[in-house]
Amino acid sequence: MENKLNGKRVAILATNGFEESELKSPKEALEKAGATVHVVSPEKGAIKGWKDGNWSDKVDVDRNLSEAKAADYDALLLPGGVINPDTLRQDEKAVAFVRDFFTAKKPVGAICHGPWTLVEADVLKGRKVTSYGSIKTDLRNAGAQWVDEEVVVDDGLVTSRTPKDLPAFNRKLVEEIAEGVHA
């Protein structure tokens, strides 16, 4: 996987309450594959993660959402946690940022509750996806075909259910970003 993503730039859109492993593990895999990864957030400075029902480590924000554009990146990652995507889907700039990746046909990865933001961006019609089980009805109501699988790839959109799926999710995300633009 090393050097597969040399020259690629990936945005991780997150805010306070992101699931720690769902941000850190993919970030590490993307960087190991050679990508430049930026944590993009509506917050400035640092954001706090969530782990085992409590606040956890802080992660530095590389770029404020107000200064970020999908055009600056080759792909997008949406980590889960409950608080993080629930907050982001209520932020018009975050929703527009996500939608712009789909408009530009760039790879997007979303894990656990991360697809909640995709619902708000209205980009799931006709897409096959997976997620944390408790949001499957939301995804179906947004027009997606929800399945209970470790990782699902649908034309550049990579989705997974929980942190236990991270190894498969990370592999597929790197593969999709390496392939580039999608239809």
Residue 162 and residue 28: Cα distance in Å, rounded? Answer: 17
Residues with a catalytic annotation lie at 112-113
Q: CA dihedral in degrees (154, 91, 70, 23; nearest 10)?
A: -60
Query: What φ, ψ does residue 30 adopt, rounded to 5°?
Result: -65, -45
Count Cα atoms within 13 angstroms, Cβ side, for 181.
5
Sort strands 151-154 and 145-146 into parallel, antiparallel or unpaired.
unpaired
Residue 137 DSSP code: H
